[in-house]
Amino acid sequence: MSSLLGGIQPERQMEEPGIQRKLNFFQTLRAVLWAMFGVRRGSGWKEDVSKLNPVYVILIGIMFGIVFVTSLVLLASWIVSKAV
């Protein structure tokens, strides 16, 4: 089995300095929420940025944009309905 992996054991692959795991969707969501809130240490921010998956960041941005616009539309329609 080790000859198939080039002499590297599977459990030792993640310990190499050149290999970094990307954050999953919920870890990326947590990092984006902390960034929006503005409370993050420099070392934690650098670690998150190095591991963020750009696809997840784009999806989370689109989701937040939809939620933001929908909430503004609902708020405006509620205010207009109360004014009449």
Domain residue extents for the chain: 21-83
Report which of 42, 47, 48, 50 is spatially closest to residue 29, judged by C-alpha positions: 48
Higher pLDDT, 84 or 31: 31
Is the model's pLDDT at 80 over the cut of 80?
A: yes
Report which of 20, 24, 18 is spatially closest to residue 55, judged by C-alpha positions: 24
Average pLDDT of 8-26? 62
Chain-centre distance for alpha carbon 71: 22
pTM recorded for the entire structure: 0.62
Report which of 36, 74, 81, 71 is spatially closest to residue 57, judged by C-alpha positions: 36
